Amino acid sequence: MTRQKIYGSILFAGLTTATCFTACKKDFLDQKKLSAIDETSVFQDSTRSLGVINNLYSSLGISFNPRRFNNTGLDAACDESEPLPDPTFYTYRISSGGINANNADGGLWATAFRMIRSANIFLKNKDSIPVTNATRDYWVGQVRFLRAWYLFTLTKHYGGIPMIGDKIFSDNEKIDVARSSYETCIKYITNELDAAAAALPLSYRPGDVNQLKVTKGAALAVKARMLLYAASPLFNSGPKGNDPENLLSFSSADPERWKQAADAAKAVIDLGVYSLYTASATPLYTLFLQNTPQAEHVLVYWQPWTTGNNFYVEASANPTSRGGMNGWTGTKYFPTQELVDEFDMINGRRITDPASGYPGIGNDMYKNRDPRLTYTIHYNGAIRNMGSFGDQPVNTYTGVIPTGNAAVTSASVDGIYTSTGTITGYFRYKMCNGGGGELYRPWVVMRYAEVLLNAAEATNEYAGPTTEVYSWLKMIRSRAGIIEGENGLYGLKAGMTKDEMREAIRHERRIELAFEEHRFWDIRRWKIAPQTENAETHGMEITRAANGRFSYRVIPIRKHVFTEAMYFWPIPQSELTKSPALRQTPGY
């Protein structure tokens, strides 16, 4: 068995047992009606009990999933990238302001509560499992973590949700539970993550059968992310007039919440088990291609080792010449000019800074940029493997396309305005296999760079731009390949104010965490979506003349729409019909 298959099988060995068993038992985990025999047969068998835990991991990446909506994730629902111009695509509808209770996606709501119910069934029966007390405590720690993860994912989308605790509803019982306040939800989830952290190991030895499962650091890091969200302006600016039950915010603003978030992130740093991945000349690219646990991994979804699941980005992000979907038969998405313009010059200065050395739009506009640009986005002229042709430029231009082999003429299938090409002049490259073929690797849901950025943001908001804040940003920018500079600040300005540092941190998050399901939520929690999302996105039109010269023009792509209600998601009408006590998200 190959190394990839071994690692892909460790976590899901128990999942196969759970899947086969629940199929034989008519999906007992998904049903409301449970017989005592069904539960007994599962939880008096340690292997089947472990299968229940492993099944709880199976939807861990549901919010992060790059295929969540017809092969697009939430990066295609904000100003990071543009999906194909089809109003039937859900991500297109989101950024067009077209979501309501009747057409809202219900997949996350249903899946998360199904997983929460499964966790509650496990916890109810935990004492029946024939394992040692130490094993039981470890298993319970995993289950409490995963239940808390699904609860946090729900609050991220909806604000306050029905908090059912350990309750398991029977088939004959009416499920009619009101939503709890946002503060109640955060307190409960915080307690659960703390309890999980206390029961989980700090790390695993290489080759440990549990090596791909969650750790103490994962629980603490999720708590830190959640508290960062909770401290942010969307939730921490006092009550909202249309929300008397405080479903969408705390009842009062409190700057101490920033300190809580900072302390939580620092607790992860102080564990001393994580570090930035540097084992490559192009670390931010190769990190996502590793098929073994890495020191930067904090929370990782190790999906099954199958081609259908592991070609999860390339199918909708690759240029057609490199194995992307043929034509627009499936959903594809393309980075925006807005994202491209965020990448600094290699000296760490913004391209809008006259001292940066940016030459302006033209032949050299992608040269000497922050190296993360090349390994996040493929632009015209970026080099990428093309099978038997070897490394070749990605051609996104329009105009006169030369004759010759497929490498030379690739603009005919990849170029802007072609039926199979880019609509913005760019393709995503981050997380994609450069060779275009199948490659087993996990979804990196949380990594140490985010922890550092979370700590930097929360600390700056509470105490200003301390030495620690500078240090964390310098670590990230140094790893990226930005030049240190004479002052040793990697392009950062010395003596920044809190406001200046806030913008520097937000800028760094947008670059470092691009396409990792952050931008969509960041612009909401910072309450800047009315500016970033009520705006037109743009692309780069490059036209090739017969003599081979290029001309360049920034072009508009689409006007996005954002309303106040869109900070949160509507609860699907079908759920409101089933549970009248549920109150719809204010604004819908």
pLDDT in tens, the chain (588 residues): 333 333 333 333 333 333 333 333 333 334 444 444 588 899 999 999 999 999 999 999 999 998 899 889 999 999 999 999 889 899 999 999 999 999 999 999 999 999 999 999 999 999 999 999 999 999 999 999 999 999 999 999 999 999 999 999 887 787 789 999 999 999 999 999 999 999 999 999 988 999 999 999 999 999 999 999 999 999 999 999 999 999 999 999 999 999 999 999 999 999 999 999 999 999 999 999 999 999 999 999 988 776 566 777 888 899 999 887 644 445 689 999 999 999 999 999 999 999 999 999 999 999 999 999 999 999 999 999 998 999 999 999 999 999 999 999 999 999 999 999 999 999 999 999 887 666 788 899 999 999 999 999 999 999 999 999 999 999 999 999 999 999 999 999 999 999 999 999 999 999 999 999 999 999 999 999 999 999 999 999 999 999 999 999 999 999 999 999 999 999 999 999 989 999 999 999
pLDDT at 437: 65
Whether the Cβ atoms of residue 218 and residue 202 lie closer than 8 Å to each other? no
- Which burial class, exposed, middle or buried, applies to 169 when counting CB atoms under 10 A from its CB (0-12, 13-18, 19+)? middle
Whether the Cβ atoms of residue 119 and residue 146 lie closer than 8 Å to each other? yes
Q: Kindly state the tokens that stand for 265.
A: 């992130």
Give the CA dihedral 458, 463, 465, 467, nearest 10 degrees: -100
Whether the Cβ atoms of residue 258 and residue 177 lie closer than 8 Å to each other? no
pLDDT at 312: 72
pLDDT at 147: 98
The one-letter amino acid code at 164 reads I
Q: Kindly state the tokens that stand for 436.
A: 């275009």
Whether the Cβ atoms of residue 172 and residue 243 lie closer than 8 Å to each other? no
Whether the Cβ atoms of residue 106 and residue 569 lie closer than 8 Å to each other? no
pLDDT at 47: 95
Q: Which residues contact 27 (CB under 8 A, 6 or more apart)?
A: none
Which sign, positive or negative, has the C-alpha torsion 181, 186, 189, 195?
A: negative
pLDDT at 436: 60
Question: What is the rounded distance in angstroms from the CA atom of residue 114 to the CA atom of residue 164?
Answer: 12
Whether the Cβ atoms of residue 408 and residue 394 lie closer than 8 Å to each other? no
Question: What is the rounded distance in angstroms from the CA atom of residue 106 to the CA atom of residue 67?
Answer: 15
pLDDT at 308: 61
- Tokens 């731009």 sit at which residue? 465
Which residues lie across from 301 on neighbouring strands?
443
